[in-house]
Amino acid sequence: MAPAADREGYWGPTTSTLDWCEENYSVTWYIAEFWNTVSNLIMIIPPVFGAIQSVRDGLEKRYIASYLALTVVGMGSWCFHMTLKYEMQLLDELPMIYSCCIFVYCMFECFKIKNSVNYHLLFTLVLFSLIVTTVYLKVKEPIFHQVMYGMLVFTLVLRSIYIVTWVYPWLRGLGYTSLGIFLLGFLLWNIDNIFCDSLRDFRKKVPPIIGITTQFHAWWHILTGLGSYLHILFSLYTRTLYLRYRPKVKFLFGIWPVILFEPLRKH
C-alpha cells in the first residue's frame, strides 16, 4: 500500500480504506491515481460492445448481464481511483462481488435447456451478495472483501478446469489463457502492495516513461479486465456449443478477441 504522505488534489483528503502505490495527483490535479484510473478503460469499453453484440445475437440475458457487470466494475474502479473516496471504493468493490456471482451462475448453467432459470442457485448467489454487502458495510475491512472475492474466483477456476478436462478439452487454450492472464495480474497486484516503497524509490530515479511501466496496480486492471473478458467468452463458447451453435473466436483488427457464431440450420 502507499505511504501515508501523499499530496492532495481536486477531490480533497482521502477517505477510502485503501490507498494504492501510485503517487497521488502526480499527473493531474483532477485525478488522484491517474494510471490506476485510465487503465479501467479495458473493463468499460469492450464489454459494452460485447453486450450490444449479445443483444443482436439474441443471447440469453445472463450473458448480456455478464458484459454489463464487467463494465460497471470498470466504471466503479474509475471513480474510486480518480477520487480515493470511500463511497467510490464501495462502487468498485461491491460490483466485483456481484459480477462474479453472475459469472458463477453462467458457468453452472452452461448445460441446461435454453432460457431455463435455476432459482435455487439464483437465490443462493443473491443471498451471498447480500450477506457480503451487509458485513462489509459494517466491518469496513478490505481483507474480508478480498477473501470473499477470492472464493468466487476460486469457484470459477474449479468449474472451468472441470469443463476443459471432462467436457470440452479443446477449449483448454481459451480457458487457461483467461486464467493465466488473471493470475499474472494477481501476481503484479501483490508485487505492487508488498514492494511499494521500493517501486516508488525506483520511479524517482528513472524517466517517467519507464516509471509508468512499474504502475503494477494499473497492470492488474488491464490483465484482470482482459482475463475477465476472456472468461465471459469462454463461458459463452461453452454455452453455445451445448446449444449446438457453431461458435468461433475471431480477432478484430487482428488484436481483440470476439465470439461469433450461427445456429445450426434445421433441414
Task: Convert the pLDDT of each residue in 178-216 to its tens digit.
Answer: 999 999 999 999 999 999 999 999 999 999 999 999 999
Q: Is 20 within a domain?
A: no
On whether the CB atoms of residues 132 and 148 are closer than 8 A, the answer is yes
Is the per-residue pLDDT at 154 higher than 50? yes
Give pLDDT, residue 265. Answer: 52
115 among annotated binding-site residues? no
Q: pLDDT tier at 143 (50, 70, 90 boundaries)?
A: very high
Give pLDDT, residue 256. Answer: 87
Write out the residue range of the structural domain in which residue 73 sits: 34-262
Q: Is 63 within a domain?
A: yes
93 among annotated binding-site residues? no
H or E, element range at 89: helix 86-108
22 among annotated binding-site residues? yes
111-120 per-position pLDDT tens digit: 999 989 999 9
Q: Is 222 within a domain?
A: yes
Q: Is 18 within a domain?
A: no
Q: Is 23 within a domain?
A: no
Distances from the Cα of 47 to the Cα of 39, 41, 68, 197, angstroms? 14, 10, 6, 34
Share of the chain above pLDDT 70, in %: 96
221 among annotated binding-site residues? yes
Is the per-residue pLDDT at 5 higher than 80? no
| pTM for this model (two decimals) | 0.93
Separation CA 160–CA 144 (nearest Å): 25
Separation CA 211–CA 33 (nearest Å): 14
Give pLDDT, residue 109. Answer: 97
On whether the CB atoms of residues 193 and 1 are closer than 8 A, the answer is yes
145 among annotated binding-site residues? no
Average pLDDT along the chain: 93
CATH for 45: 1.20.1070
Is the per-residue pLDDT at 4 higher than 60? no
31-55 per-position pLDDT tens digit: 999 999 999 999 999 999 999 999 9
Q: Is 29 within a domain?
A: no
Nearest one of 181, 184, 255 to 216, comparing CA atoms:
184
Separation CA 102–CA 97 (nearest Å): 9
The separation between CA 187 and the C-alpha centre of its own chain, rounded to angstroms, equals 15
The separation between CA 115 and the C-alpha centre of its own chain, rounded to angstroms, equals 25
The residue among 3 and 79 whose pLDDT is bigger is: 79
87 among annotated binding-site residues? no
57 among annotated binding-site residues? no
Q: pLDDT tier at 6 (50, 70, 90 boundaries)?
A: low
Give pLDDT, residue 147. Answer: 97
Give pLDDT, residue 263. Answer: 55
Q: pLDDT tier at 144 (50, 70, 90 boundaries)?
A: very high
Average pLDDT over residues 78-107: 98
Place of cell 440450420: 265
Q: Is 19 within a domain?
A: no
Give pLDDT, residue 250. Answer: 85
Residues facing 259 on adjacent strands: 249
- Total structural domains in the chain? 1
24 among annotated binding-site residues? yes
Strand 248-252 relative to strand 256-260: parallel, antiparallel, unpaired?
antiparallel
216-263 per-position pLDDT tens digit: 999 999 999 999 999 999 999 999 999 998 888 888 877 888 888 765
Q: Is 42 within a domain?
A: yes
Residues facing 256 on adjacent strands: 252
